[in-house]
Structure 1
Amino acid sequence: MRIVAVEELTVDMELAREVLDPDTGRILLGAGTRGLPHYADRLRSMDVHYLYVADDVARDLAIPATIAEETRICAEQALDRIFEKCELDQQPDYQPIKQTVRVLIRKVLDNREMLVNVCEMQCCGGDFLSHSVNVAVLSLLLAKRLGYDADKMQKLGMGALLHDIGVAGMPHSLLKKRQEFTAEEKLLYEQHAVIGYYRVKENWEVSPLSRSVLLCHHERSDGSGYPRRLLKGDIHEFSRIVGLVDCLEELAGGHPFSRRLSIQEALETMNGKARDWFDLELVKLFIDCIPACPTGTTVRLNDGRKAVVLAQNKGFPLRPVVRIFEDATGKRVAPGQEVDLLQLNHLVIM
């Protein structure tokens, strides 16, 4: 299988991995579905912009998921119940969220390669539930690289999964807005960090360190963040981790009023902000977890040919193994020529 943008779907492709309704877990499009261009508008309306498809280009390619889709849906449903209670100004039961984090930790620890397929962000809806689960999974992956024990991972995971509960109850017109916020709207939106913190402040099931993530995940090392304009030395590592991951997820997963970036573009943007906004060492470690050209994605080489990424070369994120499927004129060629870019210095990914 491979990962294809909804805009590039063709009639010869079939769905390789089912699309699930994030609210119910019900299958919307089953594996094997054909005629995919017919569903393009519906998928975009659900904020799904990429699909796993099977065609002659990479039918034999397996792309392991960081976490199973069923696990993702269960996590989103548990979080949705928290959001619903918060919208009604009621006190939620956080015990199911604690159990959800334990499951996510097990899945991350089972990921032996310690690499994440960030394209999963782009193959699911872009609402606050899927965003929060993505942030939790990526934060836990980074925690694993940092050698966190189970207790620290649990506290970080709770903060990461709950980091945006302050948006619950905010006007839907604000959260769904597709244009840039006005100054007044921006100030209102920035209150979500404080609101979220006070929602869990007195709840013993959410540790003080987890609570601090809700308050401080938008703080930046140079003091330009919000709500308290903290400097790096005053921001706990949990909040620095979630702030970093949250930013990448918004860039690659899509922000309501900004262009969705490719993984490579998002990583380059993060790298540019590293010194001012984030902990430089965390950024380096995090980027090392994320292939710039994920397995299953399409890349264009400097000679104009298109290829699908088959495998990674560890330590060389821009030199994967690829399979050519289109020539420089845009004509489809019989897939089969596999190229290890680590061995051919004259070929580079554009």
Structure 2
Amino acid sequence: MRFVPINCVKVGSHLGKNLYDSNGRILLRKGTKLNSSLIEKIRQSGFYTIYINDEYSSNEIEDIIKPELKLKTINTLKETFKCIEKEHSSKNINLLKQKKNLIQEKHLNSLNEISKNLVDDISKTKDVLINLIDIKNMDNYTYEHSLSVSILSLVIGIELGLNKNELYNLCIGALLHDIGNAFIPKEILNKEGTLTDEEYRLIREHPLKGYEYLKENYQLTAFAKAIALQHHERIDGSGYPYGLTGDKINKLAKIVAVADVYDAMTSDRPYKKAKSPNEAIEYIMGAAGRYFDFDIARAFVKRVIPYPIGTLVKLSNGEIGVIEEINSNFPLRPKIKVIKQLATTVDMKLIDLLKEPNIVIEGVQYEIPNPSVQHYLKNK
């Protein structure tokens, strides 16, 4: 299974995972053979990248949480944001207060319960390396992003040895970290062109708006509220809204800051294309100690896979291969099935980068340029 941009998907590939529309209904089922009209339908439905099975890789990638829990979380987040947006458009102050209390009691109760389920599910994967690059529908991006950030945050929290209460606070805070976006006009959040100074100022207000909305809620701890307020702070003081430094930033917010940046970088948006997992991880490693807490960044890098199994990569010696197995504790040095064109046939050899110190991965490939190799793999 490979994660491939929709413009690189070839006719004849098979869909690797179910695709859901913005209402949680199955749009296309896993295993569907893709033709040109289906590929265009996927594109028009707001998917920029999908999982496929093809001649290069047919391995399975296990979901870190149950699909039904994922759908329940996304739908609850969607209902919460939609209700807040509707409430915010009301001009009746008394009605506003009533609606706010009702929304917070109903939806935050549900999200608290979901957080406990997420913590329980992900705690079972304590020693597992995580591949969390996932299919996102542009209509549901905000909610799917919030879920991905909560999962990544929990993975980091578990690696750091946080206790159950800390993990619960981390999870609910991560789920709600972008709640302030409910107060930002959609045309600004999804704008394809460059933001004006005023639009950028409004975007930067979302942590404060989110905190103001949550601050009086007795169901949430101060730690969870701090995540909404501080997830864009950076330890060198270059973040916002207050330019906090070092230990003045809540530890849980520092965790969410790393998860938030990684998922945002590896997700397609109308105004930018996603970066590969290894590029995002390299950025976080490079910013450790400056933007991000060093220990948190190190814990993240230990648990998140830069090159998921099934990824087609180009090596520094010019060869191309498929990631076959991840070496635990050395995710940048996986085992790779190298594909070689010989005089009359194609050879496939497994190499272990732990035993090949002079070879490094240069980048991700989406296609093998040699037609004879393509033909061999398709018909082997």
TM-score clears 0.5: yes
Shift of 1:128: 0.6
Structure 1 residues 180-207: Cα deviation after superposition (integer angstroms, max 9, x where no partner): 2111111111111111111111111111
Q: 5 Å matches for 1:115-126?
A: 115-120=129-134, 123-126=135-138
With 225-234 and 67-76 compared, the bigger mean Cα shift is at 67-76
Quick check: 1:215 aligned with 2:232?
no
CA RMSD of aligned residues (A): 2.2
Q: 5 Å matches for 1:60-71?
A: 61-71=59-69
Secondary structure of residue in 2 paired with 1:322:
strand
Match of 2:352 in 1: 340
Q: Retained in 2: the 8 A contact 1:114–1:141?
A: no
Residues of 2 paired with 1:112 and 1:147: CA distance?
10
Residues of 2 paired with 1:87 and 1:326: CA distance?
55
Q: Retained in 1: the 8 A contact 2:126–2:158?
A: no
Shift of 1:326: 6.7
Q: Retained in 2: the 8 A contact 1:306–1:327?
A: no
Quick check: 1:177 aligned with 2:176?
no
Q: How many residues align?
A: 343
Secondary structure of residue in 1 paired with 2:275:
coil
Shift of 1:340: 2.1
TM-score when scaled to structure 1? 0.91
Match of 2:256 in 1: 242
Structure 1 residues 299-330: Cα deviation after superposition (integer angstroms, max 9, x where no partner): 112233322212101232222112234759xx
Supply the AA of the counterpart residue of 2:353: L
Supply the AA of the counterpart residue of 1:19: L
Q: Which runs of 5+ in 1 are unaligned?
A: none
Shift of 1:108: 0.8
Q: Retained in 2: the 8 A contact 1:20–1:26?
A: yes
Q: 5 Å matches for 1:1-350?
A: 1-21=1-21, 23-59=22-58, 61-89=59-87, 90-91=99-100, 92=103, 93=106, 94-120=108-134, 123-126=135-138, 127-325=141-339, 327=341, 336-350=348-362
Supply the AA of the counterpart residue of 1:95: N
With 209-218 and 166-175 compared, the bigger mean Cα shift is at 166-175
TM-score when scaled to structure 2? 0.84
Q: Retained in 2: the 8 A contact 1:9–1:36?
A: no
Shift of 1:38: 3.1
Shift of 1:112: 4.1
Structure 1 residues 60-105: Cα deviation after superposition (integer angstroms, max 9, x where no partner): x222222233322211001111101211223212111011111111
- Which protein is bigger by CA-based radius of gyration? 2
User: CA, structure 1 residues 36+313, in 2 after alignment: closer, same or farther (shift >3 Å)?
Assistant: farther
Structure 1 residues 88-132: Cα deviation after superposition (integer angstroms, max 9, x where no partner): 223212111011111111221121433211322xx2235111110
Q: Retained in 2: the 8 A contact 1:305–1:327?
A: no
User: CA, structure 1 residues 205+33, in 2 after alignment: closer, same or farther (shift >3 Å)?
Assistant: same
Residues of 1 paired with 2:210 and 2:253: CA distance?
14
Q: Retained in 1: the 8 A contact 2:313–2:322?
A: yes
Q: Retained in 2: the 8 A contact 1:101–1:158?
A: yes
User: CA, structure 1 residues 297+37, in 2 after alignment: closer, same or farther (shift >3 Å)?
Assistant: farther
